[in-house]
Structure 1
């Protein structure tokens, strides 16, 4: 087999046999996890299911902080962190 399913989708990881040992089941769980996360970070070896998540993650390594609070000027590398921060100005 080529390792891909129809239409170029990645092949599903193999299922553990019914009589698999605890160690074998653990191996198959790890295999499934890594097969689903096809976008690895070249710096820290984390991997992601979507390429956009890898792009967002790379901000951690670059030090770029593109999201700035308009009130106090603090910067963040994730928009969710900025949104959470903005709540402190509303109190």
Structure 2
């Protein structure tokens, strides 16, 4: 789907950015850039409902229903990103 395409583009951009940074570090330290040894994808995840409930109660909302009522929901799209 569209989300898969967005994530594929984000991955390509993240790898390109990581390669540029790695080359800069290699040059700055007088080293030669070698092959990629490891690659790890980091994606942020939404806060679990239980955490929202606990943080909301601590913030004085008292209940998840009151917290939800205080948080507007807008139509739109989620932006995907990848860090390498």
TM-score, normalised by the number of residues in structure 2? 0.20
Q: Which has the higher helix share?
A: 2
Asked which structure has the greater RCO (Cα within 8 Å, sep 6+), the reply is: 2
Compare the two structures and name the one with the higher strand fraction.
1
